[in-house]
Amino acid sequence: MTSKILIVGAGIAGLSLARRLQHFGLDFDIIDEKPSEFKSGAGIALPFNAVRELKDLKIFDSLAGRYHQVREINYTTPSGKILGKADLTEPPFDQEMFIAMKRQDLHDALSAGLEHKIRYNTKLLSVAHVAEQVEVSCSYELLDGKYDLVVAADGIHSTVRTQNYEGQETLRDHQIRCWRFIVTLPEHGLEPLYMMGKTDLFMAYPLSANTLYCYGHIHEQSPSANLTDDGADNLRRIFSGYGGPVPEILSKLDEVKIVSGRLLSVTEPRFYDRRIAFVGDAANGCSPLIQQGAAAAFEDTGILADALAMQNIDQALESYQARREARIRWVVQYSDGPLPHLLKMESRMGRLIRYLMIKSRGPLNVYGWKKLATDRLLVNS
């Protein structure tokens, strides 16, 4: 009997799952509360395991000309003094690729050919477990009813997760305010740059020879925070003492769209509950320290779809968790582990310890990528 599957969320996780289910000939509906004309103004960094998955999804070739290949990572002080650097063309990554691109370009590639399957402007109203199904109501009544499987792919603020675990706290707020934007900087000549202050950090990631994806954050309890609701004003003030390309970037803030937010994580990774499965940020959203947001979503959906193609739903959900749990729990722990200690960076000793760690291990994200690439205990078994 054909299973009735509803995917909630048409972002990176939902679209990659839809493509995989379609490949296996499994039918599904997919809803998203955003309008079809919504456009993302952010960039995205895709490490080696995300690129592997894009190739497996058969869409990597369609991205040609729309990404920047990353070959080096640099960590510096705010003045630009090198703390650590890594060559991403050396083992264990000499046969791999790291790229960065506009998030909208990735979304467009993932959604190509699926447009007729996505019901936009559709808000999930309720989910309830009923025997071996899930009863759903949404703002598009023709999709109301019982589903054999509901997949929560609706991001860090997942409505499905919130409703399924009603009364439980499923998100952790790290009290870190962050800002993202894309800026034009002709012939910048940069490779990814992480400039580390006290609780403040500024990142510049090339998307092309002339554009940069920028990210900045600061802990709200930092004495130098003094935050307002004006993202450009916050960025100018917090990073006014930074060197390198930052002064020129800050001079262009009036020309860009700034996406303001807070750094949030799930309180614990979640894989499934009865006939509801969780993928991507809805399942394991965490700090972007090792840029595993999209990579984890691709891996989640690949393993879940493979299992659904070969097993009944209950067996597939058990297999999904068994194959993902060790890797996901390590990613979340490694990504979020430094955050409770961030305020210690206000002290000279705290920063010295961090700098010594970077000098001995190299860039923190590259160290994490190496673990994911080489540690047998973290392989999706």
d(CA 30, CA 50): 23
Question: How far does Cα 354 stand from its chain's mean position?
Answer: 24
CB atoms within 10 A of CB 54: 25
What are the φ/ψ torsions at residue 95 (nearest 5 degrees)? -105, 10
Q: Are strands 149-152 and 276-278 parallel, antiparallel or unpaired?
A: parallel
CA–CA distances in Å: residue 214 to residues 12, 82, 185, 344, 365? 20, 19, 11, 25, 17
At residue 380, the pLDDT reads: 84
At residue 21, the pLDDT reads: 97
Average pLDDT per consecutive 10 residues, the chain (381 residues; last block may be shorter): 87 98 95 90 94 97 96 96 96 96 96 95 97 96 96 98 96 97 95 97 97 97 94 97 97 95 97 98 97 98 97 97 97 96 96 93 95 92 67
d(CA 261, CA 380): 32
Query: Which among 274, 271, 302 is positioned nearest to 24, based on CA atoms?
Result: 302
CA–CA distances in Å: residue 118 to residues 9, 23, 194, 299, 354? 9, 16, 37, 22, 46
Strand partners, 272: 277
Q: Are strands 118-119 and 29-31 parallel, antiparallel or unpaired?
A: parallel
Element (H, E) at 170: none
Domains of the chain: 5-170+265-378 (3.50.50.60)
At residue 1, the pLDDT reads: 44
Residues 6+ apart with CB under 8 A from 38: none
d(CA 367, CA 54): 22
At residue 377, the pLDDT reads: 87
Helices (H), the chain: 12-23, 48-56, 103-111, 159-164, 231-238, 246-250, 281-284, 293-310, 313-336, 348-361, 364-374
At residue 41, the pLDDT reads: 81
Q: Are strands 98-102 and 211-219 parallel, antiparallel or unpaired?
A: unpaired
- Mapped onto helix, strand or coil, the DSSP state of residue 20 is helix
Element (H, E) at 26: none
What are the φ/ψ torsions at residue 253 (nearest 5 degrees)? -65, -30
At residue 108, the pLDDT reads: 95
Its sign, for the CA torsion 295, 177, 34, 265, is positive
Spatial contact of 205 and 100, defined as CB atoms under 8 Å apart: yes
Q: Are strands 149-152 and 5-8 parallel, antiparallel or unpaired?
A: parallel
